[in-house]
């Protein structure tokens, strides 16, 4: 088994929207073979960070590298081809396409694109993988909430990404669905070189993540192994607020 190494590096990345600094000189590294949590209160800059990693937004300053490839200000499709795939906080399926066709989009344009001849077989395999076997012919409107999330995950997985970004993929699930969702993400560790999980569900962070970064007001306030980080006073204050005295 090969040794781990720093796979993804964020070096002082910053995103400004006019006078608002949404992400402020954020730096951290993600090792290969790891699940990395990115947590913090609402509005702390987590989703903006994923948008910068995936190319949905351009950096104001700083550098992002994947191994030796510089991702800084590449377009979303260029970053996808280099091996970063994502899900979205709000599920973004194409309502006029079937489940299988939604997943096929990722297979045709992602990191390891399939030809049309191989795409059907790949779609069937990845739908089975996420628990949607036999549902490829359904329309998105016919699916339960968790199954729409499974479709989006399948679409991200079909191109065999090196780094998978999950933006609150577990949000809104009932306890039974949450347990199944955590198990599914855990099972992906061997298929992706690294996974970054943005999540408010601390049960998931504790179960899945090797390390985590905590953000507040656009800045990193803590980093390290999960239990140590979650017990830091600055993290508790960021989530719960300080004393009024």
What DSSP string describes the chain?
-PPP-EEEEEEEEEEEETTEEEEEEEEEEEETTEEEEEE-STTSSHHHHHHHHHTSS--SEEEEEETTEE-TT--HHHHHHHTEEE--SS----TTS-HHHHHHHHHHHSSSPPPHHHHHHHHHHHHHHTT-TT-TTS-GGGS-HHHHHHHHHHHHHTT--SEEEEESTTTT--HHHHHHHHHHHHHTTTTSSEEEEE-S-HHHHHHH-SEEEEEETTEEEEEEEHHHHHTSHHHHHHHH-----
pLDDT at 1: 43
pTM of the model: 0.93
Q: At what angle do helices 116-129 and 99-109 cross, to 10 degrees?
A: 120
CATH number assigned to the domain covering 1-83+162-245: 3.40.50.300
pLDDT at 236: 92
Q: Structural domain boundaries of the chain?
A: 1-83+162-245, 93-160
pLDDT at 175: 94
pLDDT at 242: 54
Q: What is the CA radius of gyration of the chain?
A: 18
Grouped pLDDT means (10 residues each) for the chain, 245 residues: 82 96 98 96 95 96 95 92 92 94 86 78 95 96 96 94 96 94 94 95 94 96 95 89 50
Q: What is the pLDDT of residues 202-239, one digit of tens each?
A: 999 999 999 999 999 999 999 999 999 999 999 999 88
Going from the C-alpha of 212 to that of each of 142, 195, 226, the distances in angstroms are 36, 11, 6
| CA distance from start to end of the chain | 54
pLDDT at 117: 76
pLDDT at 99: 97
Is the distance from CB of 161 to CB of 110 less than 8 angstroms?
A: yes
């Amino acid at each position: 088994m090969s040794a781990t190494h720093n796979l993804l590096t964020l070096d002082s990345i910053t995103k400004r929207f006019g006078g608002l600094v949404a992400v402020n000189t954020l730096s951290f590294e993600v090792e290969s073979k790891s699940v990395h949590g990115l947590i913090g209160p609402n509005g702390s800059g987590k989703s903006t960070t994923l948008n910068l990693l995936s190319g949905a937004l351009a950096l104001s300053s700083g550098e992002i590298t994947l191994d030796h490839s510089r991702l800084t200000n590449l377009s979303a499709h260029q970053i996808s081809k280099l091996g970063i795939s994502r899900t979205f906080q709000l599920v973004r399926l194409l309502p006029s396409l079937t489940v299988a066709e939604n997943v096929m989009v990722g297979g045709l344009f992602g990191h390891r694109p399939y030809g049309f001849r191989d795409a059907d077989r790949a779609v069937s395999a990845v739908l089975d993988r996420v628990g949607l076997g036999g549902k490829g012919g359904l329309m998105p409107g016919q699916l339960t909430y968790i199954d729409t999330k499974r479709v989006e995950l399948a679409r991200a997985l079909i191109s065999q990404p090196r780094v998978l970004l999950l933006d609150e993929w577990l949000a809104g699930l009932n306890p039974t669905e949450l347990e199944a969702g955590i198990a599914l993400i855990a099972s992906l560790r061997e298929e992706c070189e690294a996974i970054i999980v943005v999540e408010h569900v601390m049960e998931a962070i504790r179960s899945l993540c090797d390390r985590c970064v905590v953000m507040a007001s656009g800045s990193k306030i803590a980093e390290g192994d999960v239990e140590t980080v979650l017990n830091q006073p600055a993290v508790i204050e960021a989530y719960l607020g300080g004393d009024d005295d």
